[in-house]
Structure 1
Amino acid sequence: MKPKTAGRVGGGYRPAGHMAQATSPFAGLVAGASIPTLNGNCAVEDLCPGTHVITRNAGAIPIERIETRSVVTQAVYVIAGSLGHDRPDRDSLLSGAQRVLVRDWRAKAFLGQTQALVPAQALIDGEFIEDVGQRALTLFRIFCGAPRILYADGMELASADDIALSRTQDAA
């Protein structure tokens, strides 16, 4: 099966400043991810502040801001249905650092809890969830004013508020 990806980095001409050169982990939703809103599903790149997105833990809430960044980072390919029935609802690509809400045996295995937020890279099994290496990705960080669980391609993913909060707590 050939992954649906943004393409490999390497060779070819890339203008200076076009792509972040650091390969540090950066979480965010990959361009093309389908996000449920009050007006139906919308590609993440078409969202804007004020758009009401459907969340797991707060219903429909407005987006406060969106940050976009093009980076070279670890990418994880998730085959449709590999995280549960219809989760994701299509083959999807994630940043390895993107935190995913798992509510099955994986949560017990990782943290001994019924549900847990884990980085996508921790879910790699080599068969249904694959490490596809360093990729050039355009990532969208969605901020909702407080940590939220967003839906993207049927997966439950942490908002950027959660990522910023966890970095603040790690620094303390």
Structure 2
Amino acid sequence: MRGGTVKLFFEMDGGGGGGVFANGGIYGVLLGILCRAGWVKLCVVVLEEMKRFGCRPDERLTMDLVQLFFKQNMGSEVRYFVEEGILKDKSSLALSVRAMAEEGKPISALELLENLRESESNADGSIYASLILGCGKLGLIEEAERIFSEFKSLECVKNAELAYTSMVYVYSIA
């Protein structure tokens, strides 16, 4: 029944992409409802449709989605949506890489950041700080050091002090 309802919702737009839902507002409302209900797989369907129309969820909803995906062990979906540019804001990216680190996948998170950095050419220390803190939470000191080393090799980094203070914190709890 749920899948049929969502399919009907998408068909209401006429499938042309220029209809009433193309602005993303109603998609955002639907996504919020599905997220609060915990219907992760339907959230993925709605995100795919939003991608098709070139719109994204707002930052608050993005944070909720990232948390829901990781709660349901769907980290690969988060990575996909980050790589596709659907979950693009800094906060959701920071939360995503921290959650990946806390799942014991800090190197995967670092690779994700490297791929994104290649496409956007700027880096933010707050995102690296979040990843370093995720490593520290699990006691992954060597991984945190590797990530910090990669971070230090970057140029033109905003909020660099956050990564440095995160590394100090990791050493203090080691």
TM range (shorter): under 0.3
Higher strand share: 1
TM-score, reference length from structure 2: 0.24
- Relative contact order (C-alpha < 8 Å, sep 6+): which is higher? 1
- More helix per residue: 2
The TM-score normalised by the length of structure 1 is 0.24
Select the structure of larger CA radius of gyration: 2
